[in-house]
Amino acid sequence: MADTVGAGDTLAGTCLALLASGAAWSATLQHGVAAGTLSTRSPGGTAGQQPLAVVAQLAASLPLHHADVPQSEEKPR
């Protein structure tokens, strides 16, 4: 880990973008966590942000704990 500045913003921004695009909660959470995690690998608020393909690769490897995901996969209104 190089720097945690911006990790939460990266997580939140990724989640908001995916929710706005109609993504399911599970994918939204996995991608948000992956994006926030990857952003800590470089110093600065945005230097570590990665392309969606890189985020998706890490997201696919993350375990999903279904107890943490809302029962409905519907987008919030």
For residue range 12-50, what is the model confidence (pLDDT) as tens digits?
Answer: 999 999 999 999 988 999 999 999 999 999 998 888 999
Number of structural domains found in the chain: 1
Say if 2 falls within a structural domain.
no
Say if 1 falls within a structural domain.
no
With a threshold of 0.85, does the pTM exceed it? Answer: no
The vertex-57 CA angle with 19 and 20, nearest 5°, equals 10
Say if 77 falls within a structural domain.
no
Domain that holds residue 57: 7-64
Say if 12 falls within a structural domain.
yes
Contact at 8 Å (CB) between 7 and 38?
no
d(Cα 55, Cα 47) in Å, to the nearest integer?
Answer: 14
Determine the average pLDDT of the residues in 66-74: 56
